[in-house]
Amino acid sequence: MEPDPARVAELRTALVREIAASGVWRDDPAWRTAFEAVPRHLFVPYYYVGAGAGFERLWGEDPDAGRRARWLRGAYADTPLATRVRDGELLSSSSQPSLMAKMLAELEVREGKRVLEIGAGTGYNAALLAHRLGDARVTTVDLDPEITESARRHLAAAGHRPAVVTGDGAAGCPERAPYDRIIVTCTLTSVPRRWLAQCVPGARILAPLATGLIALTVREPGEDGHAEGRFLHTPAYFVPLRGAGVRAPQEPHLGGLPRGAVQNELFRFLLELTAGTLDPHEALALWEREGRPVRERFGVSVRGRYEWAWLDDPEGPYAWPL
């Protein structure tokens, strides 16, 4: 049963107004047009609220009118939505719309560019890209065939048919390369070299790493190429990238650290970034000594087979292999 179009329009308008109030579209209002045009509820016909064994499924075909109304309100709330859960573990989600808006704006994409998305999710992000760039210039990849199949259905229902590829996101999608932009909707522990080989010179890669968003510029394409960039100030939490040879995120050891530091979101970012390479107590001493640095002071460099994170300067004294 289709929701009331007037109610959908009301909720979508409210969501767009809320995102716009942050100023995210000030320099590129075309993204506002995309969010106004693409109906999010088509991409989340059901989702889960709660956590662990307490997950509750809300869906648009529920015979109970009150629960259908809750589903529709949630579909247009500025919150992430769990869309695939197995044995209490979150496998896939629809990201928070305001974070999606921020990432799309930071992608610095313009008409005529070709974009690869790693992590198809519900297909909503691909629809926003396709609305802006056209179906032919958008490719989205996911490892899970159930996810790609549902993304295709959602995209078709919204009137879009970008390339939806079932495959290892860590390998990119070489058959549709080269790309001007790569946007990643899952957390990395390192940057796959094969992505650099599929980029044009000057391409931009925007990806979650640790608990931040790294924006890399590809200076020299190729698996032995060179890419470099800094983190944005925005925090970001996504499910990990899955695929052949992908290392799972390493949990930092917190024993013996002051409670205040452990609860500080920026210090936790540093711990995640240096997990396995820097002792947590050394990380704390560095963080305090350097004036509790914000995310934007950190960056990542990839050069050939070497990849490292750094503070302030890629050739400076503070650097850690990834």
**Cα within 13 Å of Cα(76), Cβ side:** 25
178, 276: one domain: no
148, 199: one domain: yes
205, 301: one domain: no
At residue 50's C-alpha, the angle toward residues 120 and 56, to 5°, is: 85
193, 281: one domain: no
**Range of the structural domain that residue 307 is part of:** 251-322
Which CATH number does the domain housing residue 88 bear? 3.40.50.150
173, 24: one domain: yes
Q: What integer pLDDT is reported at residue 284 of this predicted model?
A: 92
Active site residues: 92
For 33-39, the CB contacts below 8 A with 24+ separation are 33/131, 34/104, 34/128, 34/131, 34/132, 35/97, 35/101, 35/128, 36/12, 37/131, 38/124, 38/127, 38/128, 38/131, 38/158, 39/8, 39/12, 39/158
22, 154: one domain: yes
22, 142: one domain: yes
Instruction: Identify the domain boundary among 248, 281, 304.
Output: 248
Q: What integer pLDDT is reported at residue 249 of this predicted model?
A: 65
Q: What integer pLDDT is reported at residue 240 of this predicted model?
A: 83
182, 218: one domain: yes
256, 322: one domain: yes
Instruction: Identify the domain boundary among 248, 269, 301.
Output: 248
Q: What integer pLDDT is reported at residue 51 of this predicted model?
A: 61
304, 199: one domain: no
Cβ contact 143:165 at 8 Å: no
158, 295: one domain: no
Instruction: Identify the domain boundary among 194, 218, 248.
Output: 248
Domain total in the chain: 2
Terminal-residue alpha carbon distance, the chain:
49
Q: What integer pLDDT is reported at residue 68 of this predicted model?
A: 95
221, 263: one domain: no
The span from the CA of 279 to the CA of 252, in Å, is 9
Would you write out the chain's pLDDT as a tens digit for each of its 322 residues?
789 999 999 999 999 999 999 999 999 999 999 999 999 999 999 999 876 556 788 999 999 999 999 999 999 999 999 888 777 667 778 999 999 999 999 999 999 999 999 999 999 999 999 999 999 999 999 999 999 999 999 999 999 999 999 999 999 999 999 999 999 999 998 999 999 999 999 999 999 999 999 999 999 999 899 999 999 999 998 888 876 666 666 666 677 788 888 889 999 999 999 988 888 999 999 999 999 999 999 999 999 999 999 999 999 999 999 8
